[in-house]
Copies of this chain bind each other. A is one copy, B any other.
Amino acid sequence: MRLTRISEIRRRELRRAAFEVLQKEGMAGATLEKVATHAGASKGIVLHYFANKQELFEHAMREANAALKEAVVVRLNRARTPRERLEAIIEANFEERFFQPSVCHAWLSLCAEVPREPQLARIQKVIHARMRSNLLSALVDLLPAEDCETVALGITSLIDGLWLRLGLQSEGLTRDTALSQMRDYLAHRIPAT
């Protein structure tokens, strides 16, 4: 089954190319031709491997999400205490490779499509559910039960807000600022030790 292999390689290349073009061009500007060129192929090949534009970007979103998920997993595995698990989740979301204006902009472009693209909405839903569940599993040991949901929402909203802001390329927002913002929240919202 070499065939499967080559098609999988091609599909991955195209997914990545799609996400990279998205970073610079936004959804409207990310044409099939640009994606193809960026992947070093022809437009035809894109539609050979993906039924249509939506499907391509759906897979691009899946892949980007998978990378983030993986980063969280790696850090979670290293974490020993609930507190460390919490920090692992947060720090993964602010790794340099993710927390970049262009990357956040790509995410923004995808998010803007969510209301009209059921497939993207599904992915979004999964992302949120995983985030929530990860956070709750750490928070449950750190907070009274009735506070967990609130703080989980607080953390995700803060992360989203900081990502959004970076996506807008408002200068002056650095990774460090963002991370210390998160730490500030934790410091004040979660009882010491």
In the bound complex, residues from chain B placing their C-beta under 8 Å from that of A71 are none
> Is A153 an interface position by the 8 A CB rule?
yes
Nearest B residue (CB) for A158: B157
> Is A162 an interface position by the 8 A CB rule?
yes
Stretch at the interface among A74-82, A90-98, A107-115: A107-115
Work out how many copies of this chain go into the complex: 2
> Is A185 an interface position by the 8 A CB rule?
yes
Give the Cβ gap from A150 to chain B, nearest Cβ, in Å: 5
Give the Cβ gap from A5 to chain B, nearest Cβ, in Å: 35
| Bound CA–CA A154/B183 (angstroms) | 11
How many A residues have CB within 8 A of the partner chain? 42
> Is A37 an interface position by the 8 A CB rule?
no
Residues 21-36 of chain A, each 1 if its beta carbon lies under 8 Å from chain B, else 0: 0000111110000000
Q: Which of A91-135 contact B (CB under 8 A)?
A: 101, 105, 108-109, 111-116, 121, 124-125, 128
Complex partner residue of A26 from B101, B112, B160, CB under 8 angstroms: B112
Complex partner residue of A28 from B28, B124, B180, B181, CB under 8 angstroms: B28
Q: Which of A24-75 contact B (CB under 8 A)?
A: 25-29
B158 touches A165 (CB 8 A): no
Nearest B residue (CB) for A180: B150
In the bound complex, residues from chain B placing their C-beta under 8 Å from that of A153 are 177, 181
A111 touches B168 (CB 8 A): yes
B112 touches A112 (CB 8 A): yes
B26 touches A113 (CB 8 A): yes
A169 touches B114 (CB 8 A): yes
Contacts A/B (CB < 8 Å), 21 sampled: A26-B115, A27-B28, A28-B28, A101-B115, A105-B115, A111-B167, A115-B168, A121-B169, A124-B170, A128-B165, A150-B180, A153-B177, A154-B158, A157-B157, A157-B158, A158-B158, A158-B161, A160-B164, A161-B161, A184-B189, A189-B189
